[in-house]
Every structure is written in C-alpha cells, then in structure tokens.
Structure 1
C-alpha cells in the first residue's frame, strides 16, 4: 500500500478519492466530463503507467507497472555553462514526454492519441476532429435599427476572409449604414463619457457537412446583442497596465431595445446613465 501511495496515485481533480492503485473522481455538470479510454506511460513526475476510463462525469484511473515507456530524446544543452557541464559530466539532457494511446471525446471534439504527447503540433502523435453531427454552423449576421427594424443581413458563405476577399469590406459598409444610438453616462469614477450602440444578431443551425439535415429537427440558436463602442476607456482597470475596455457586446433580452439594454448594463457596471438617446 505504501508503494501505491508514494508512486502510483494519479491526481485527476479536486474531488479525487484513492483506493490502493485506483483514483476515482466525479465531476458535476458544467465541469469537464469527457468520454475517454486512455493508456498512458507516465512521465518523470508520475513514474509507471495508468489506464483512465471516463464517462458521464465519472473517472476511474488504475495505476499500472511500467508496461509502456515514456518517449524521450537526447538534446544537446547549448545554453549550459562550462561549470554545469563539468559538474554533471555531460553536455546533454533527456527531453521526456508521456506516450498515450486511446481517445477522448468532449463537447463534440474527438481526440485520438497515437503515441508521444509533446504539446507541439510538429511532433505530437494525435488526431483530432470536431464531430459534424454535434456542431452548430453559423448561417447569418443581421443588423437592426433604432426601433429594432431589420436593416441588412450578411449570410455566412462558409469562407474565411482570405477565401472571400470582399467579405470584410461588405461587413464594414453595412455597419456604417446601420443606425446607432448614442448615450452619455458617468463612469464609476465620475468621468463623463459616451457610448455608441448598435443591434446585431447571429444565427446558428445544427449540424455541419453531411449532417446539415439535422437542423430540420432542432430549433436554431439565435443571439441578439448590443454592440458598445465607448468614447474612452471604461471600467475599474482603466489607467492601469491591464487597461479598461473601449468596446464589446452584451446579450439583449427578448423585445429589448438600445436604451433598456444599456441602462441594465450601467447598473451592473456601477455607471450612471445620464442622457436620453439620440441617433448618430
């Protein structure tokens, strides 16, 4: 039992329980809850192998003898000084990383481990992919006016800005013609500032690739937000090395327009709403 407690316990979470060579943990919803079967070689910190089984929030890890050796390579120590080389009797060191075989699946992302895990994409032996029958695809971005009237919609072409050269210019042109509303407010420290607000809306449908048809059986996800562009830095971090914020977006409630949404934001951020809105 002493050997297991000294060398074989595998820490997994803040809720671990140890039983000889076993580690058991249970994570509540909202935490990392993968589906996984992984055999690992261990490393310098945790000598010996382990087999991890995870599913439905439960994880069980079994410590094993060294049936699988870690991956390592000999590296020339170019930055060592002469005294260090003389003291150690060598001018090299071992770069050691764990080997893993198995898979993990979490939130629609599948990762298959095929050997060394170096956290370097050029040397790591891993294959990963988002499963298309678990993902949402973005289909549009829409803009709305002062009273919530529709102004324009940009469909998602499925291409990046590089693949769709005129996309960035089209988005900026629509943004410039979309009516905004300007509010004056006092920041938490009493500084008088203003903010320009604009209503935007995004829509996602379920399924990607060959599985787009799944959207026929599931309602789309729609997010309407109020885009905020401040005249100066706001927030308690302004003036510090971290800096305040000059702009971001907030979620809007159903039926909400510019002023009610921004008033709600002011209360949350310890700001004082000053002026009625005016069209910019």
Structure 2
C-alpha cells in the first residue's frame, strides 16, 4: 500500500511538472522596442544603469564601444527609444528596422552618457526590403544623418565600427545599451551606458524556447527563424540580458592588431524572449540579433 501511494505521488508530481512546463512555455513572449515605447523624459540622475545584469561603463573604459554608440530619440530630443551603431565617417547609423526610425528623429553619437554626444537628425531611413516583423528577420535599417561631418565626428572622438563581412562562428559577443534593468522593464534607467557579454548559443538550443512563442496571425506557435541571418545569444541565470530600449544596439567583438584595438560589429540587437508582464526581461533566455555579415552587401549599398 505504501508502495502504491509512493507511485501515485510520483505520477502526480510528474503531471504537476508537465503542467508547470506547459504553463511557462505558454507565456513566453517576443519582446523588443519601438518609438512607441520611448522614454518620454530625461532619466533622473542616481538611478541604476541599464541592460539587465550588465555593468556601467564610462568614456575611458576599454572595450565598451562608446566611440561608435548611437542613441535614437523622438524629434523633440527627449524621447529615447532605441540604440544603433555609427558605421561611416559621413554619418550613417545601423539600427533595427523594428525600432521604426523616422526622418527628423534626433540621434546622439558617441559618449557613455545618454544625453551626451554629437547631435544630428535623420535625413533618410532605409529599411531592408525583406524585413518581417513576425520573426524580426531582416531586422536592419540604415539611417543617413544630416548635420554631421567627418571632422566634427573626429573632434568628438566618434569613430565608425568595422562591419563583420564573413561569419566566423564567434564564441560570444559584447552588447551595450541603455535599456531598463528590472525584469518587469519598468525602470527608467540612468544616463550611463551598460555592457554585458553572452555566449553564442546553437539554434537548436534557442528554438526550444522560440518555438513556443505565439505569434499573432500565424496558425501555430513558433517564431520564424533564419539561422543564416540571425544569431542567438544565451547565458546562465547570472548573465546579462537585453531589455526595453536596448534593441538596435551593437553586438560586437574586440581584437588587437599590432597594439591597436579593433571593434567589429557582428550583429544588431533585435529582440529577446520574455516570460510575461512580471518578467519581461529574464536572464538565461534567448537574445536574438541580425547578422551583419548576412546583410553586409545591402548595408554597404545604403552607405
């Protein structure tokens, strides 16, 4: 009788685990940022930084990429909504199409502080023609800026990042941004850039999560994925993670050649997987980016 009770208890426990797993899978959500979610007012000083689990950096820290970071604002200059990367000396920025950048938006180039940097405005927006918002495939856009010049950028210490031309299966990447740091994505954050590092995860690992996401308009669960065009970063529970207003920013690597640091942009932060309203920015979940190498020719044609 005791054995039967134990067996019954074990079966009940297994059913509970199965139900719990199904419940968790059911709330997996694709999370990202657009101009509709702009930070409407300047963030107050003294608040925590952004990127969940990352560390704050300044203009003098190594490997931070502050010299090519771009910050996108609404036309009033106070509604920060996405990040980007400076990719040319004449004023071009690479960001994500899903950020919905528009002509006349304000862009601040360079510097670790959110409201610092060279101020310019968007003169032209080029969205990749194959952009699919359902799975964020081809989630890249190039902005042509007005009000900047090569000499002005150099005086401010703004230098374009190199673009990765051939995907060489890197172990992992740095990523930076100004997004919220709390798991519910409610914090305004601070004015200071944050940086984190995550390993590249195989798509079979990430698809166990992305295949459970319900996409409006599709007949069955699962995000459209293009392994050739997208990269998935995923670490442990103590790792960093993307959060609100981080997308569009750089996923990059740093190398040294003859004593000179070389920053190479490998991907554009696109979206992350959340766990519902109370845990929109969890750690240890997929963080997805668009591979620069896959879109290299198109990007160069815009520049």
TM-score (normalizing by structure 1): 0.22
Return the structure number with greater relative CO, CA threshold 8 A, min gap 6.
2
